[in-house]
Amino acid sequence: MRERIEELEAVARRLEPNAEERARIRDPVIGFTERFLEELAEAPCYHLDQSGARRLGQLPVGESGLDPEVLAEVLEGAVTGQGLNPASGGHLGYIPGGGLYPAALGDYVAAVTNEYAGIGFAGPGAVEMENQLIRWMAELVGFPETAGGNLASGGSVANLIAVVTAREARGVRAVDVPRTVAYGTDQTHHCVAKALHIAGLGEAVWRSVPMDSTYRMDPQALRDAVAQDRAAGRIPWLLVASAGTTDAGSVDPLAPLGRIAEEEGLWYHVDAAYGGFFLLVPEIRPLLQGMAEADSVVLDPHKGLFLPYGIGAVLVRDDDHLRQAHARDAAYLQDAAAEEWASPADRSPELTKHWRGPRMWLPLLLFGLQPFRAALTEKHLLARYFRKRARGLGFEVGPEPELSVVLYRWVPEDGDPDAFNRELLKRLHSDGRVFVSSTTLDGRFYLRLAILSFRTHLRTVDLYLEMLASVLREMGEGPEPHPHQA
């Protein structure tokens, strides 16, 4: 048997390359990422042709390994350059992401060391790093020391954790679910509906509270809705406010809503996945006032902190609620029971998990907060600059951006505006130097501009304005001041 084991060992050892072999693997991969970064500023942001992605199917998993050079080439030909390039500063659609380089090195550290970040007993340093980051965010939000949180995979899972915490904290019983009422607006992110459904609350009543003309929840309408629900024997229990809606970038009136939640005994959840990190901007902070009164808050570091995809954060005012909703015992984990370090596994559906700490810790400590504040302020001003210039071109524009989203549409002399703007968007996509998306609000088709990539600067916005003007000319509409705007 020893002989057989030794034979197997000789083959299995290929899994542990030595220093020289590591370099042979690393060089082509690093070469690929370096080329990617060097070419990024001039590379298109959107490719209509996505046929390269099919190449992956021609390279199935087989018995023997392939050359790292070949694999790096495949990455280049089949993955990057296909569809959207979210790392590009030209990404002005949806809510743009980031991709700070030191975060990639943080992931590298996490993967090489494979620290166990689920339970403090196993990885006290790894867990404490995440807890430090959670404490920093809790302070930013204005939560007291009782607060706890979790670094999740993204905003959707962070919202799910908050909904489950709220359900347990408010003691929502299964038999009562059809009588319970949660409040939000038509602009509440759809991941909240998904979270309610996953949390067994699909039969609960969802009340879309009316909004004002800038898509913010109307506090008086909320009060009226709660009163009506109580009068009808229903059980109001959850209020979801948005600090930065995805569609319009609006911020619900957080402080007045918080007062109503308090008076009515509702769990107050603020989904600040998009807008939360604008707390770092002194000029915008007052707009977000009231977040500190929430019971739970979601922030998305892969949006407002420009980190690569794969990190969201949930913060809960009282850590006990978070823990009670998620901690369970297991006999085989008895050594870990007495915890000195608050364990992520007791605060999320995950047990073993990616150590997300270093991808956030490394950029924050390496750069310090100054460039983050500057970048967020810059994005806000770029959005206002764009709105002004777009209006100058003759576009009908939405509200002045509170954060960094602008809505706009062209109203042609004749014909259907929705069809016109759809065609305009199609032409912008086939250009591809900049990528924008659209939405439908009040039954109208709007183009959206969302500025949140750390790589988006004046040059990008000016380029996009030129693209708009030239597509309009192509479509027979002058970018001169438009009669509708007079």
Ligand X SMILES: *Cc1c(COP(=O)(O)O)cnc(C)c1O
Residues that bind ligand X (CB under 6 A): 95, 154-156, 159, 189, 191, 242, 244, 246, 271, 273-274, 300, 312
C-beta closer to ligand X: residue 234 or 302: 302
Q: Which two tokens stand for residue 310?
A: 């794969």
C-beta closer to ligand X: residue 148 or 304: 304
CB contact set of 392 (below 8 Å; sequence gap of 6+): 481
In whole angstroms, the minimum distance from the beta carbon of 243 to ligand X comes to 8
Question: Which string of DSSP letters, residue by residue, matches 227-267?
Answer: HHHHHTT-EEEEEEEEBS-TTT--B--HHHHHHHHHHHT-E
In whole angstroms, the minimum distance from the beta carbon of 194 to ligand X comes to 10
In whole angstroms, the minimum distance from the beta carbon of 305 to ligand X comes to 12
C-beta closer to ligand X: residue 234 or 448: 448
| C-beta neighbour count of 108 within 10 angstroms | 13
Distance CA 66, CA 57 (A): 15
Three-class secondary structure of residue 116 per DSSP: coil
b/e per residue 301-312 (b: at least 16 CB within 10 A): bbbbbbbbebbb
Q: In the complex, which residue's CB is closest to ligand X? A: 155
> What does the chain come to in residues?
486
C-beta closer to ligand X: residue 97 or 120: 97
C-beta closer to ligand X: residue 158 or 322: 158
In whole angstroms, the minimum distance from the beta carbon of 192 to ligand X comes to 7
In whole angstroms, the minimum distance from the beta carbon of 148 to ligand X comes to 20
Say if CB 297 and CB 291 are below 8 A apart: yes
C-beta closer to ligand X: residue 116 or 309: 309
Amino acid at 75: L
In whole angstroms, the minimum distance from the beta carbon of 107 to ligand X comes to 17
C-beta closer to ligand X: residue 239 or 336: 239
In whole angstroms, the minimum distance from the beta carbon of 95 to ligand X comes to 5
Question: Which string of DSSP letters, residue by residue, matches 420-432?
Answer: HHHHHHHHHHHH-
In whole angstroms, the minimum distance from the beta carbon of 379 to ligand X comes to 14
C-beta closer to ligand X: residue 156 or 165: 156
Q: Is the dihedral of CA 430, 31, 89, 310 positive or negative?
A: positive
Residue with tokens 């059980």: 235
Q: Which bin fits 172, alpha (ψ -120 to 50), beta or left (φ > 0)? A: beta
